[in-house]
């Protein structure tokens, strides 16, 4: 079984907070979205906004 070490995605480092509280789960969703963007190689080809 592969073990994945938790790391903050590069796209989220040195950025202001996303504004989601820690208990709502939105932060988890944002992290997963950014991880997928990085894994697919869309690092410089994406637009993500939060309303």
pLDDT tens digits, 1-51? 788 777 777 777 776 765 666 677 777 887 888 888 888 888 778 777 666
d(CA 46, CA 30): 14
**Domain count along the chain:** 1
Q: Tell whether 45 is covered by a domain.
A: yes
Domain range for 40: 19-51
pLDDT confidence of residue 18: 59
User: 43 phi and psi, to 5 degrees?
Assistant: -55, -40
pLDDT score at 33? 83
Q: Any residues with CB less than 8 A from the CB of 35 and at least 6 apart, and which? A: 9
| pLDDT score at 4 | 76
Q: Tokens in use for 36?
A: 């997928």
Looking at the domain assignment, is residue 12 inside a domain?
no
The answer to whether position 14 is within a domain reads no
Return the pLDDT at 42.
84
Res 44: pLDDT: 79
Does residue 32 lie in a domain region? yes
The dihedral over CA atoms of 11, 27, 36, 13, expressed in degrees to the nearest 10, equals 20
Prediction pTM value: 0.58
Q: Does 8 fall in a domain?
A: no
Residue 3 lies in a domain: no
């Amino acid at each position: 079984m592969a073990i994945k070490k938790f790391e903050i995605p590069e796209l989220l480092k040195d950025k202001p907070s996303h504004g989601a509280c820690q208990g709502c789960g939105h932060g988890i969703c944002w992290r997963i979205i950014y991880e997928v963007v990085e894994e697919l190689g869309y690092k410089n080809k994406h637009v993500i906004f939060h309303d």
